[in-house]
Amino acid sequence: MNMRRATIRDVAETAGVGVATVSRVLSGGSASPETRERVLTVAAQLDYRPSALGRNLRQRRSGGIGLLLPDITDTFYGRVADGVLACARSAGEPVIVGTTGDDPEREAELIGMLMEQGVDRLVAIPSGDGESWAPTLRAGLTTVFAHRTSAGCGDIPAVLADDRAGVRTAVDYLTGLGHRRIAYLGGPGQAQRLAVFREAMGPLVDEELIVVARGSRDSAYAAAAGLFQHRPDLTAVLAGGNLLGEAAVLAARELDLRLPRDMSLIMFDDVPWAELCSPSLTVIAQPAQDIGYRAAELVLRGGGRRPRGVLLPTELIVRGSCAARGTSRSPR
């Protein structure tokens, strides 16, 4: 039995058109209604794409999953993407990846592009205040958020790590070590973490020790360096992500601050380099790959009843970057 998979050339020959025409039709480009119908019918008959996509072709949709991430080079976001890709692969669905740079305008452009291409499912780590997502809600695009939510988008289910438990565990650990002047170094999309930090600190919260950077490495470094120079009396820092933790480590080295003698540090995200630092970093670990996989599962299951969101646990991994306040150094 010949099990050879159909090619685009097979579709073109059977439909009586050129390869370029088939490619244009399948990517959502222009073609006459008769040609489009013939190409889509032949592609579905020959099962040119995976079966799930073949069903979408008959429905005049290109199918597949759109995936929007702030930065594909970030290890955490890369692991989220890996989870989405693993789930999509098991379902025979293609994935189109776009990076937003945490820029709402860029995000809106990418959403529009994906909708024009006929993508009918979307997994996203959102940025902005929610305005970008209005077109997807109006168009009925099946959407699931991963890692964080967006203001005004309560109708969109999300797969999240338990930020509340993670921040509280970190603050409890640091205060248990005797720290009282604890700073928070945050970034885009961390409103909930910041709110929980203020709540967990209670009367100890100092607004001057809360700094929020933009999404770039340069901004994160400038925020960390400015914080350390402006408030040399701080004794501990909670960094809201691995980019911010990296900035804190680099700024501390530049300013001759030693971990944990001069300053204790806890970072969200257990990325590989955290254990390779000297000292290795105490972290709040989030199940990044599982977040991506579960988000893809939800978006593939969606369509009828709106799926419920998922909350996954975090874990405090204690390493060498924190010390008891009384033993780390003399008071500044």
Q: What is the pLDDT of residues 274-312, one digit of tens each?
A: 999 999 999 999 999 999 999 999 999 875 556 678 999
- 240 and 302 fall within a common domain: no
71 and 186: one domain? Answer: no
pLDDT-derived band at 27, boundaries 50, 70, 90: low
Q: 167 with 247, same domain?
A: yes
Give the lowest-confidence range in 66-75, 105-114, 125-134, 236-245. Answer: 125-134
Same domain, residue pair 18 and 72 = no
CATH value at residue 214: 3.40.50.2300
pLDDT at 3 over 60: no
How many domains are contained in the chain?
3
Query: Which 3 state secondary structure label does DSSP give 216?
Result: coil
**What phi and psi, each to the nearest 5 degrees, are found at residue 298?**
-65, -45
pLDDT of residue 262: 96
Contacts by 205-209, CB closer than 8 A, 24 or more apart: 206/181, 209/181, 209/182, 209/183, 209/184, 209/234
Answer yes or no: do 195 and 320 share one domain. Answer: yes
**Strands, DSSP E only, in 33-178?**
65-69, 95-99, 121-124, 142-146, 158-161
Domain of residue 234, residue span: 163-287+316-328
Between 331 and 129, residue with greater pLDDT: 129
* pLDDT the model gives residue 1: 40
User: Which amino acid would we find at residue 235?
Assistant: T
| 283 and 148 assigned to the same domain | no
What local confidence, expressed as pLDDT, does residue 131 receive? 66
Query: How far is Cα of residue 136 from the mean position of the Cα atoms in its chain?
Result: 18
pLDDT, residue 143, reads 92
d(CA 154, CA 328): 44
Neighbours of 15 (CB within 10 A): 21
Asked whether the bond before 307 is cis by omega within 30 degrees of 0, the reply is no
Inside any domain, residue 53: no
Residue 208 lies in a domain: yes
pLDDT tens readout for residues 107-152? 888 888 888 788 889 999 998 666 667 767 777 789 999 999 887 7
The Cα diameter of the chain in Å comes to 82
Residues 217 and 82 in one domain: no
Rounded Cα–Cα distance for residues 222 and 224 (Å): 6
Lowest-confidence segment of 79-88, 107-116, 155-164, 293-302 by average pLDDT: 107-116
293 and 324 co-located in one domain: no
| 169 falls within a domain | yes
At residue 328, the pLDDT reads 45
In a domain, 55, yes or no: no
Confidence class for position 29, pLDDT limits 50, 70, 90: low
- Whether the ω angle into residue 260 lies within 30 degrees of 0, i.e. cis, is yes
The backbone region for 64, taken as left when phi is positive above 0, alpha when psi lies in -120 to 50, beta otherwise, is left
Q: Are residues 192 and 257 in the same domain?
A: yes
Q: Which amino acid is at 196?
A: V
- 151 compared with 317, residue with greater pLDDT: 317
The angle formed by the CA atoms of residues 122, 125 and 128, to the nearest 5 degrees, is 110
Over 60: is that where the pLDDT of 237 sits? yes
Query: pLDDT tens across 43-64, in order?
Result: 888 877 533 334 444 444 556 8
Range from 25-29, 229-233, 251-255 carrying the lowest mean pLDDT: 25-29
Residue 215 reports pLDDT greater than 90: no
Q: Does some domain include residue 58?
A: no
Same domain flag for 202 and 263:
yes
CA-to-CA separations, 281 to 269, 270, 285, in angstroms, rounded: 10, 9, 11
CA nearest 234: which of 111, 159, 328?
328
**Alpha-carbon torsion, ordered 322, 285, 171, 145, to 10 deg:** 150
